[in-house]
Amino acid sequence: MTRKFVISFLLFCGFAVLGFYVRKFTIPWGIGDSGFYRAMAENPGTFIRSPWGYRIAVPYAAAAISEILSLPLKTAFGILQLSMFGVILTLIFRWVSTALTRSAFVGAISVTLFALSYPGVYNLHNIMHVGLGEHLFVLLGCMAIYSNRFVLLCLVTVASCLVKESVGFLLIPTYFVSAMLFSGWRTALLRTACLASAFIAPFWLLRSGILFQNHTDFNTYTALFTWDELLNVWNYYGGLKGAIPVIVKHFAPLCLISLSGFLVAPPRLKALAVLPVLAALQIVFAVDILRMVGVGVPVLIALSSFALSRMKHEHAALVCSLVGFTFLCYNHKVGGLESLKVAFFLILVLLWMNRSTLLVPVIPSGMMTALTKRFTRTAGPRERGPAAGER
């Protein structure tokens, strides 16, 4: 136990340092909603504005660190961000290397898929934000669902209400799908009802206004979701037709690898694939398309790890390098769409080169054996016929 803790702590420190250098050598992508979270940290107990004002955990924690350690507020937020970044990467490494693929190599290269991704880099630069907290609780919830630890899932869901409400909106239906597949519909309905109740209690408490000094109530929250507001969100990028190219530019390579991993992943992990779909559907309610879709990245990485584990090590490392290369090209505005096309094609080639291990679980073993024999028979050297004098 002590040895595991020491290793995890060293990983955490190393990944936090990695986050510092990733932020140093990448370009910021906007400041998002930093102003609201800064105002919350400067005025704990005062409701700022819906929906940001309900996400109190990270801003209030930053305010506490700033007060206790006599640090500037921005520095306190930075400490929290690097800490959450380190925890996320440590959890990804431990989950992939011990529970999913049992390969430290795959765990190490899987970490790069988050470190050099939009959600990773955006939130590192957007210091006064709750984004990394959201990813952390989504990851913890997915790990709890995969390992079938319902009590832990309830605790994660309840705590996530203080970080960002979208975590519960994603985890509850994801758990229902998983429970339906592996525990039957009665257990799924009962446990999902319990999970939803555990989520609704703190969710309602925060929006009732009881915890804040100034007046606010549930109508303050529901007033956001008017028909006109939803239409404005939908038309911001030109509807679905405008949103899809934005999503493809930033997530296509990772989605391709995760799709390959989905084919060979165990059923319990396949059930989690509903979460990235739900994350993408969030774009109906917010204009931050990349942030909404990016919430599903932890599941995409978990699925990708199974594809990477069945590839040759050098091919797997090259695939992750291509994903990181594509991201850095976009981040530094170099190469544009051409870099995506080249990387996507090369990843396809590498996946095809490892088709014998990536497709075996999909094709029945008997059929695979028959196909192999048939290919060998047709592709092998033909037998020479008898010479004229031998007839």
Query: 54 in a domain, yes or no?
Result: yes
pLDDT for residue 390 is more than 50: no
Domains contained in the chain, number = 2
Q: What are 18's two structure tokens?
A: 């990695």
Please report the pLDDT score of residue 290 as a whole number.
Answer: 87
Query: 143 in a domain, yes or no?
Result: no
User: How large is the average pLDDT for residues 77-102?
Assistant: 95
CA triple 1-108-95, angle to 5 deg? 50
Please report the pLDDT score of residue 222 as a whole number.
Answer: 74
Please report the pLDDT score of residue 384 as a whole number.
Answer: 45
In percent, the amount of the chain with pLDDT more than 70 equals 90
Amino acid in the structure at residue 8:
S
Residue 210's CB is within 10 A of a number of other CB atoms, namely: 10
202: which residues sit within 8 A by CB, 6+ positions away? 158, 161, 162
Query: 314 in a domain, yes or no?
Result: yes
User: How large is the average pLDDT for residues 192-205?
Assistant: 94
Q: Is 346 found in the same domain as 244?
A: yes
User: How large is the average pLDDT for residues 290-303?
Assistant: 94
In percent, the amount of the chain with pLDDT more than 90 equals 63
Please report the pLDDT score of residue 388 as a whole number.
Answer: 43
Confirm if 85 and 104 have CB atoms less than 8 A apart.
no
pLDDT for residue 231 is more than 90: no
At 374, the pLDDT band (50, 70, 90 cuts) reads low
Rounded CA separation 194/154 (Å): 8
Query: 213 in a domain, yes or no?
Result: no
Please report the pLDDT score of residue 362 as a whole number.
Answer: 53
pLDDT for residue 249 is more than 50: yes
Query: 218 in a domain, yes or no?
Result: no
Please report the pLDDT score of residue 239 as a whole number.
Answer: 67
Positive or negative, the CA dihedral 156, 157, 162, 166 is positive
Q: What are 138's two structure tokens?
A: 């989504």
Q: Is 227 found in the same domain as 125?
A: no
pLDDT for residue 271 is more than 70: yes
Identify the three-state secondary structure at position 5: helix
Name the domain boundary from 114, 129, 144.
Answer: 129
Query: 44 in a domain, yes or no?
Result: yes
Name the domain boundary from 74, 104, 129.
Answer: 129
Closest listed residue to residue 176, CA positions, set 166, 189, 165: 189
Query: 203 in a domain, yes or no?
Result: no
Query: 67 in a domain, yes or no?
Result: yes
Which residue range forms the structural domain that includes residue 273?
223-361
Name the domain boundary from 106, 129, 152.
Answer: 129
